[in-house]
């Protein structure tokens, strides 16, 4: 569009005087200039969004690299929902730049976990960042969304991140490819999305170091579409689990 707008301006500058009504020529050139400005502003907005996205990714990669080099952080007993709220706060600006709203749901009832706060916060942030990045708006004119659901089952605490958007292919889930270091899903570059292929690896390693795990599922959200129709939006759920810490031990 920018090239077209510029070409229109160049063409009208070459039109001999008197060939076209002066006011018409002036209006066309002015509209072409306005179009070029709008395209430039849109490009700047996309650059801004990418910079905000890369800010988290650069910090996450730095922390991942330094994990083995710095002294191990002592584990502390913390309320799981407090870590989730911090992750949402850390990524609030990024979500806003992508037009994504959070839908938090705390059914964990104040459950505590015994963890390295820095590492588990990074894992939660990585999972939330992915959910934001790969979200699509479900209805035109309405924001995309990410559900963050905390709950407890059989003395384990769970945090599920659910989004509507880019699919994860079945073989990538079944073979655990999405958790391999440096791997990016075959559809992850949808609409120019950036990534490092490290976030899920780091999150899974962190969960397992704390006696937990991460599970992922991605199912087609288009009614009547084949389950492997990867042109359709998918509902993706990524769930981190950790051992819960008994309340009576911290009273």
- What is the per-residue pLDDT for 125? 94
Closest CA to 191 of 139, 149, 134: 134
Structure token pair of residue 80: 């799981």
- Return the CATH class of domain 75-250: alpha beta
Q: What is the pLDDT of residues 165-178, one digit of tens each?
A: 999 999 999 999 99
C-alpha–C-alpha distance, residues 160 and 237, integer Å: 6
pTM: 0.74
More confidently predicted of 42 and 241: 241
- What is the per-residue pLDDT for 93? 87
Q: What is the pLDDT of residues 56-95, one digit of tens each?
A: 666 666 676 666 656 778 899 999 999 999 999 999 988 9
Domain assignments of the chain as residue spans, ordered by start = 1-71, 75-250
- Among 76-90, 132-146, 180-194, where is mean pLDDT lowest? 180-194
The CA–CA distances, whole Å, from 199 to 206, 214, 227, 250 equal: 11, 12, 26, 32
Instruction: Name 186's Cβ contacts closer than 8 Å, sequence gap at least 6.
Output: 169, 172
C-alpha–C-alpha distance, residues 201 and 216, integer Å: 13
- What is the per-residue pLDDT for 46? 60
Instruction: Indicate whether 36 pLDDT > 60.
Output: yes
CB 195 within 8 A of CB 133: yes
- What is the per-residue pLDDT for 61? 65
Instruction: Indicate whether 190 pLDDT > 80.
Output: no
- For the chain, state the CA radius of gyration: 24
Q: What is the mean pLDDT of residues 180-189?
A: 81
Which pLDDT band holds residue 194 (cuts at 50, 70, 90)? low
3-class DSSP state for residue 94? helix
- What is the per-residue pLDDT for 104? 96
Which pLDDT band holds residue 51 (cuts at 50, 70, 90)? low
Which pLDDT band holds residue 47 (cuts at 50, 70, 90)? low
More confidently predicted of 112 and 28: 112
- What is the per-residue pLDDT for 250? 42
Q: What is the mean pLDDT of residues 226-231?
A: 90
Closest CA to 237 of 152, 179, 140, 168: 168
More confidently predicted of 144 and 49: 144
Q: What is the mean pLDDT of residues 231-242?
A: 96
């Amino acid at each position: 569009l920018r090239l077209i707008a510029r070409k229109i301006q160049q063409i009208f500058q070459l039109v001999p005087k008197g060939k076209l009504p002066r006011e018409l020529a002036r209006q066309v050139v002015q509209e072409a200039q306005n179009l070029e400005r709008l395209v430039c502003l849109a490009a700047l907005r996309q650059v801004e969004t990418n910079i905000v996205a890369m800010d988290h990714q650069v910090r996450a990669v730095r922390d991942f690299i330094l994990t083995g080099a710095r002294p191990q952080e002592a584990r502390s007993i913390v309320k799981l929902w407090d870590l989730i709220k911090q992750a949402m706060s850390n990524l609030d600006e990024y979500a806003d730049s992508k037009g994504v709203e959070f839908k938090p749901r705390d059914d964990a009832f104040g459950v505590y976990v015994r963890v390295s706060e820095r590492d588990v916060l990074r894992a939660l942030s990585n999972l939330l960042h992915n959910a934001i990045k790969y979200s699509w708006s479900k209805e035109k004119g309405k924001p995309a969304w990410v559900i963050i659901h905390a709950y407890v089952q059989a003395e384990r605490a769970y945090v599920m991140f659910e989004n509507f958007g880019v699919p994860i292919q079945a073989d990538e889930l079944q073979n655990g490819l999405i958790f391999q270091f440096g791997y990016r899903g075959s559809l992850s570059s949808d609409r120019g999305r950036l990534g490092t292929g490290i976030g899920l690896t780091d999150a899974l390693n962190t969960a397992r170091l704390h006696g937990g795990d991460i599970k992922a599922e991605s199912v087609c959200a288009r009614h009547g579409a084949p389950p492997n129709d990867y042109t359709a939006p998918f509902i993706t759920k990524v769930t981190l689990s950790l051992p819960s810490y008994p309340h009576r031990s911290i009273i």
